[in-house]
Each structure stands twice: as C-alpha cells, then as structure tokens.
Chain A
Amino acid sequence: MTMMNVDLQSAPPVLEARDLSVYYGKTCAVNSVSLNVGRNQVTAIIGPSGCGKSTFLRTLNRMNDFNPSVRTEGEVFCRGKNIYASGIDATEIRRSIGMVFQKPNPFPKSIAKNILWGLKINGMLNGNGDEVVERSLKQAGLWDEVKDRLNDSALNLSGGQQQRLCIARAIAMSPSVVLMDEPCSALDPRSTARIEDLINELATQYTIVIVTHNMQQAARVSKETAFFYEGKLVEFGSTQAIFTKPKNKKTEEYITGRMG
C-alpha cells in the first residue's frame, strides 16, 4: 500500500515546480527541481545545510526577488498559474502564499494589529476585524493565552507565542499555501512540540510546505517528504516510504544519520 502512495499523488497539486533552477551569481543552488505540492497536506523538505531547500522554498512565493544576485529559471504553477510568467505581480503571489520564517518576526505593534496589517494593506478587511483576529488566533492555538491583551505589544510574547502569532498572521490572509522555513529552529522543545501539533491541525485546512533539518520533525508532521542534496531533488514520496524504505542510497545515508 505504501508503494502505491509513493507514485500516486494523494491530492491534486496546489503548487507545481517544473524544472526550477536557482543561481546565486554563477553558483547553482537549486538544480532543475520538479515537485508537486498536494492540497491540504504537509509537504516537508529535508536535507543537509546548504542543500538548497530554503532557497527552493523562497522561490515558491518569489521571496528571492529581493536578492539581486539571484536568478531563477523554470516555472512554478500555483493553482495552474505560472508565478514566474511575465506580467505577474509578485505582490499578488505573496498575498495568497503565506510565509513563516526561521526566527519569529512579529511586527512591533499590538497583537491584534499584527493579525490585521496584511488584510488592511490589501484592502481585504471588512468591519473592524475582531472576528478575523479571534479566528486566526484560535486556529493558531494562541487565543486563550492572549485574548485579554490583544492590544499589548506582540514583542512581549515568548518566542513560541511569537511564532504562533506569525502563523496566525499568515493564515489570517486565507492563503492557498503556507510556506514554513525551519519555523522551530529558534524555539525550545516545548514550543516546538506546540507548533508541530499546530501544523498537524492546520493541515486539514491548509496546504503547508515546511523546510526542516530536523528529520524527526519531518517524520512527525508531514505526509510527503522531499530530500534535497546539493541542490538536487534526490527523492520525493510519502514520508513513510522515505523514512522506512528509501530508494536512493543518499537518502538512506541521510536519514540513518551516516551523512549530513
């Protein structure tokens, strides 16, 4: 049964990378990667440091645009639309593909304003936004901790709370995809466990792509896993298959801890 799942996409893809290559100047960081991200599930990207996984993730919402030395080739389709086609506004893309960063980066504003800012600047805010704030914070599992101090500075929250606020801020925009770039690497084990639970819960409603160099984390939260090595996509399949019966020798070496 697992063998079947390796080859079959369990859900129609929301994001499709086709022959995607990224260069920093002359250095190739991502080498013609093709990958489908299934709807309402967690796709993990693992691999040793410098394998291009974070660079790849940032191509998915065009966050590499800010680095002038980065050149991207290939195509990324989000719901059938190539986000690298000419005439596409990267701003629009980022509106529907949210991102959570390595280090929590809440705005130096109140908790409520953190949630509402994205909606406000995009003209997506109806009414005073109390509902969105409550819904997003509830989905991010933060509501009970902060409901009495929504107007306090977000910077007074603990690191784990700040990261959940960043997740709430991303999902407040009702994105098609949420990209997470090692969201737990700056957090303690307890906060990490909370975020992982949260990712599992969110996966029922959101499409999530998570980069991690914690293999156990990938095993715990994801349905499908992609293994990157030296800029190439070495193996991609169901998480269970990747961790129990890797086909590629490199994958096996990495997940058994002999490399990386």
Chain B
Amino acid sequence: MLKSVKARKRRDKIFVWLCRGVTLMALFVLALLLFHLIREGAHWLSLDFLNQFPSRFPSKAGIKSALFGTLWLSLLTAIFSFPIGIASALYLEEYAPKNRLFSLIEMNISNLAGMPSIVYGLLGLTVFVRFFGLEQSLWSGSLTMSLLIMPTIIIASKEAIRAVPDSLRLAAFALGAKPWQVIVGQVLPAALPGILTGFILSMSRAVGESAPLIMIGALSYVAFLPQSPSDPFTVLPVQIFGWASRPNEEFHGLAGAAILVLLAVLFLMNLGAVIVRQRFQRYRL
C-alpha cells in the first residue's frame, strides 16, 4: 500500500519535470532565435532605419514604407474584419437555428481557420486583384487579410458569446427586454473581453503574414508612402522576405533588424490585448 503511494508520487514528480523540460525547450528555441536575431540585426537598428525607404545600398536602407504599409494594412483589415466577424458570431450563436445546415456552416468556418494562408492569397489574386480590378493595392491586401483572419475572429467571438451564462439573458428578458436589447445591452458587453482578445490575436497573425501578400503581388521595394488605400504597398514581413532572399550578407542583417521591429510591434499588440482585457473585465462574471 505504502509502496504504491510512493511509486505514484515518484511518477507525479517525473511528469512535472517532463512538463518543465518541454516548456524550457520551447523557451530555449525562442531565446536562441532572439539571440541570433539580435547578434545579426541589432547594429542595423537606428532611427534612420525606421525613417528611410528601402535602398539597394544597405547602409541607406530602412523600413519606413514597410512600417507604414503594415499600419495601413492592419487598420483597414481591422475595419473590414471586426464588425463582420462579430456580427457573424452573434448571428450564429444567438439567432441561427440549430440545424444541420448551420452545423455544416460552422464546421466549414473551423476548416477555413486552418486553411494555408497561401490559398487566401490565390483567392485574393483572383477575386480582388483581377476580378474587381483592385490591382496590387492596399484594398486587395486588406480584403485578403480580412478573409484570412475572419474565421479565427468568428470562432473566438462565438466561444466568448457562448460563455455568457444564460441566467444573464433570462434576467434581461425578465425585465421586458427585446432580443436585440439583450444582445447589445448584456451579451455583447459580457463577451467583449473574450472577443477583443481573439480579435487582437488574429490581428497579430495578419501583421505577421507574408505569403498571401506576396501572392497578390505586394512589392518588397516601395520607395514611397501609400497616400490612399488604392496605392501599392509593402509590409514588414514582405520586406523581410525580400531582404532575406538577397545574397548580400548585409541585407540579411537588415532582415534581422526588421524582424526585431516586427517582434516589437507584435509584442505591443499582445500587450494591448492584455490591457484591453483587464480594462473590460472590471465587472467580471
């Protein structure tokens, strides 16, 4: 009896150490990557690097156009994907009948979330660039990105909405609220922290993607700032891809520096997610 307890405790310890080891391994790889990036790229980082357009001379090259392109793209993507994503999630959770058609639709949304991004690039190329004639503009890029992240937004929002307890809906209905008032006045505010977290995480995916944008023809050498959504553009990941695929060692350093900037942007976005979440959770359920 005593022996089996001891054996179980030992196995418990082994399991804990196994978990620790795996976590440390993941962190180690991340640290290695960061270390490598800093060694390669850090000395390229400067205000000029942020403030210069790309150039064929490494010392004069910067990421101004890519940084602004990333800002434009994320802004437009947010405008397209956020309202549509939330509205779809609300419809699917609160209004849609529970039947086969809708379970099929929901299953497909989950499937879409796992679709390789290059496929969205092809879709964007066919539909937005060619069919609607939007060319290689920010319109095409942000619409493609919206399609890419919409399934994730819908799924995260659906989960957040489903987590709102029914007792809250009943309390609202018992006061004579109409269904839309229950949704807008109670369900949505209660689900908002979860929705926003999912949204910001999706946005950081959009900011980090390059494949679909390369597919629709975003350029890696853009020596001007976009003035409107119909202008061509580049973004950080595409710029990084462009520099990294050059033979010149110095451009690899530039790519490393740009990656550090991109990581900083992503870090700030995720920090934003945490802050937003805490702010809205003042009235926690």
Residues of A at the B interface (CB closer than 8 Å) are: 61, 63, 66, 91-96, 98-99, 101, 103, 105-110, 117-118, 121-122, 153-155, 166, 169-170, 173
Contact = CB atoms under 8 A, between A and B. Distances in A.
B167 interface: yes
B20 interface: no
B175 A117 contact: yes
Where chain B touches its partner, the secondary structure class is helix
Nearest to A110: B283
Given A63-B173, A105-B171, 4 more contacts: A94-B176, A95-B176, A108-B189, A117-B175
B52 interface: no
Count class of interface residues, chain B: 20 to 34
Contacts of B167: 101, 103, 105
Given A101-B167, A107-B168, A118 B282 contact: no
B174 A153 contact: no
Contacts, number: 74
B285 A101 contact: no
A4 to B, nearest CB: 36
Contact of B170 (A91, A101, A121): A101
Interface in B151-198: 165, 167-168, 170-178, 181, 185-186, 189-190
A170 B171 CA distance: 9
A108 B174 contact: no
Given A101-B167, A105-B168, A107-B168, A61 B283 contact: no
Contact of B181 (A106, A108, A121, A173): A121
A155 B175 contact: no
B283 A109 contact: yes
B171 A98 contact: no
B284 interface: yes
Nearest to B190: A108
Contact of B175 (A103, A108, A109, A173): A173
A45 B173 CA distance: 23
A108 B284 contact: yes
A77 B189 CA distance: 36
Interface in B116-130: none
B176 A173 contact: yes
B174 A61 contact: yes
B278 to A, nearest CB: 14
Contacts of A103: 167
A123 B241 CA distance: 57
A132 to B, nearest CB: 13
- The 6 A-B pairs with the shortest beta carbon distances in the complex, nearest first, are A95-B176, A118-B175, A99-B174, A105-B167, A108-B283, A153-B283
B161 to A, nearest CB: 14
B180 to A, nearest CB: 10
Contacts of A61: 174
Given A108-B284, A110-B283, A153-B284, A121 B175 contact: yes
Contacts of B175: 94-95, 98, 117-118, 121-122, 169-170, 173
B195 to A, nearest CB: 15
A92 B186 CA distance: 19
A169 B177 CA distance: 13
B177 A91 contact: yes
A66 B173 contact: yes
Residue of A109, A153, A166 ringed by the most chain B CB atoms within 10 A: A109
Given A105-B168, A153-B283, A155-B283, A98 B185 contact: no
B171 A107 contact: yes
A98 B172 CA distance: 11
B186 A63 contact: no
Contacts of B285: 108, 155
A94 B168 contact: no
Given A91-B178, A117-B175, A118-B175, A66 B170 contact: yes
Given A91-B177, A95-B176, A101 B171 contact: yes
Contacts of A105: 165, 167-168, 170-171
A92 B176 contact: yes
Contacts of B284: 108, 153, 155
A63 B170 contact: yes
B179 to A, nearest CB: 9
Contacts of A107: 168, 171-172, 186
Residue of B172, B174, B282 ringed by the most chain A CB atoms within 10 A: B174
Contacts of B177: 91, 118, 121-122
Contacts of A170: 174-175
A117 B177 CA distance: 9
A92 B173 CA distance: 10
21 contacts: A63-B173, A63-B174, A66-B173, A91-B177, A94-B175, A94-B176, A96-B176, A98-B175, A101-B170, A101-B171, A105-B171, A106-B171, A108-B168, A108-B190, A108-B283, A117-B172, A117-B175, A121-B176, A155-B283, A155-B284, A169-B171
